[in-house]
């Protein structure tokens, strides 16, 4: 089994999830938005099939982006205006892929029930289900399923109002294989440039101290996805500031009014209540960060880290 994943030591339960899939268990990853549940599912799929990430071959997974408009056609297949379209469940079942049910609790409960038969047979060899044409489809031995959700399918929460209550029979298909995916500071430090991650972690800590809630119940929390978005702007800005070539081999031209890390942070604060945003910025001293992150020492640190990352 290939474990070609630089962050594997920083991802809790990675091997347990692999073990579940290898013996035919369905896995459910539950956690706040932006904690990397879907990305984790994709990484697990590559590892399960001894694949290197982004190797240019067909993806080892099929994804259903679940929402209230997801239809039986998306799952099992059916007729469309362009002819018959096979469903993602059938493709994964037939071809031996990991089916990722992204945000599964957002499915209409009646539509989600279509999954019951297949997920009850994940561990059974030579199991049969039927596609949208009512043709029997034999299960590939490598089929697996990973569902993700902000909640465990027991209805909407204060922050995640788009979730539906799912039938207990569906949730039972994941019993004993549910993993809480929370914010992982070790992984975040592995993935994000030091200057950016330190400020992002300060912001998250300030929000949690101010609101006194858990990550799942807190609005405006600083997520890994937000950090990555800010990091992309930071890297582009610093490449322009330092004159380093992009990893594609081309220099990055300076642009008048091009996006900066400051712009990215301010965009993040823009969606907060103004008083709350100002309070957080004062607590973490954003102004000092804005005045210093492009200093000589900071540029030297960026150059060293950037060169390490691109090899």
As a whole number, mean pLDDT of residues 40-64 equals 90
Burial of 228 (0-12, 13-18, 19+ CB in 10 A): middle
Q: What is the pLDDT of residue 9?
A: 62
Residues in the chain: 311
Q: Which domains occur in the chain, in start order?
A: 8-180 (3.40.50.300), 185-310 (no CATH)
Three-state DSSP state, 35: coil
User: Are 97 and 142 within 8 A, CB to CB?
Assistant: yes
User: Are 224 and 36 within 8 A, CB to CB?
Assistant: yes
Q: What is the pLDDT of residue 301?
A: 95
Q: Is the pLDDT of residue 118 over 70?
A: yes
Band of the pLDDT at 235, cuts 50, 70, 90? very high
Nearest to 179 by CA among 12, 6, 298: 12
Strand partners, 65: 102
Q: What is the pLDDT of residue 217?
A: 54
For the stretch 142-178, pLDDT in tens is: 999 999 998 887 765 656 666 778 999 999 999 999 9
Q: Is the pLDDT of residue 247 over 90?
A: no
Instruction: Report how far Cα 96 is from the mean position of its chain's Cα atoms.
Output: 22
Band of the pLDDT at 187, cuts 50, 70, 90? confident
Tokens encoding 1: 């089994």
Lowest mean pLDDT of 4-8, 15-19, 30-34, name the range: 4-8
Predicted structure pTM score: 0.78
Q: What is the pLDDT of residue 66?
A: 95
Q: Is the pLDDT of residue 114 over 80?
A: yes
Spatial separation of the C-alpha atoms in residues 68 and 226, rounded to whole Å: 25
Instruction: Label the pairing between strands 98-102 and 61-65.
Output: parallel
DSSP characters for 116-162? HHHHHSTTSTT-EEE-TT--EEEPPTT-EEEEEESS-SB---SS-TT
Spatial separation of the C-alpha atoms in residues 24 and 19, rounded to whole Å: 9
Q: What is the pLDDT of residue 221?
A: 86
Instruction: Label the pairing between strands 98-102 and 144-149.
Output: parallel
Q: What is the pLDDT of residue 274?
A: 93
For the stretch 274-290, pLDDT in tens is: 999 999 999 999 999 99
Band of the pLDDT at 100, cuts 50, 70, 90? very high
User: Which residue, chain included where needed, has tokens 């339960």?
Assistant: 13
Nearest to 260 by CA among 296, 234, 294, 291: 234
Tokens encoding 288: 């000092």
Q: Is the pLDDT of residue 137 over 90?
A: yes
DSSP H/E element including 42: helix 37-48
Q: What is the pLDDT of residue 155?
A: 64
As a whole number, mean pLDDT of residues 195-221 equals 82
User: Are 131 and 84 within 8 A, CB to CB?
Assistant: no
Q: What φ, ψ does residue 164 adopt, rounded to 5°?
A: -105, 155
Q: What is the pLDDT of residue 162?
A: 67
DSSP characters for 76-104? HEEEETTEEEE-HHHHHHHHT-EEEEETG
């Amino acid at each position: 089994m290939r474990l070609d994943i630089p962050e594997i030591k920083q991802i809790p339960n990675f091997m347990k999830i692999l073990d579940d899939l290898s013996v035919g268990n369905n896995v459910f990853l539950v956690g706040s938005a932006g904690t990397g549940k879907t990305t984790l599912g994709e990484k697990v799929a590559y590892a399960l099939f001894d694949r290197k990430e982004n190797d240019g071959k067909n993806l080892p997974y099929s994804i259903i982006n679940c929402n209230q408009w997801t239809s039986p056609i998306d799952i099992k297949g059916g007729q469309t205006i362009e002819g018959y379209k096979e469903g993602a469940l059938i493709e994964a079942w037939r071809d031996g892929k990991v089916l990722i049910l992204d945000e599964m609790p957002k499915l209409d409960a009646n539509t989600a029930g279509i999954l019951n038969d297949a997920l009850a047979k994940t561990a059974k060899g030579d199991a049969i289900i039927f596609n949208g044409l009512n043709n029997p489809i034999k299960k590939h031995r490598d089929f697996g399923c990973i569902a993700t959700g902000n909640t465990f399918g027991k209805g909407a929460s204060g922050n995640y109002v788009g979730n539906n209550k799912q039938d207990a029979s569906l949730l039972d298909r994941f019993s004993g294989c549910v993993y809480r995916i929370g914010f992982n500071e070790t992984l975040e430090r592995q993935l994000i440039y030091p200057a950016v991650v330190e400020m992002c972690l300060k912001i998250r800590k300030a929000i949690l101290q101010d609101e006194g809630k858990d990550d799942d119940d807190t609005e405006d929390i600083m997520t890994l996805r937000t950090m990555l978005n800010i990091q992309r702007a930071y890297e582009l800005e610093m490449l322009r500031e330092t004159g380093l070539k992009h990893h594609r081999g081309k220099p990055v031209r300076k642009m008048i009014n091009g996006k900066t890390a400051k712009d990215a942070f301010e965009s993040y604060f823009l969606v907060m209540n103004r008083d709350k945003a100002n309070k957080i910025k004062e607590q973490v001293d954003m102004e000092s960060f804005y005045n210093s992150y492009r200093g000589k020492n900071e540029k030297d640190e960026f150059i060293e880290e950037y060169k390490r990352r691109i090899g």
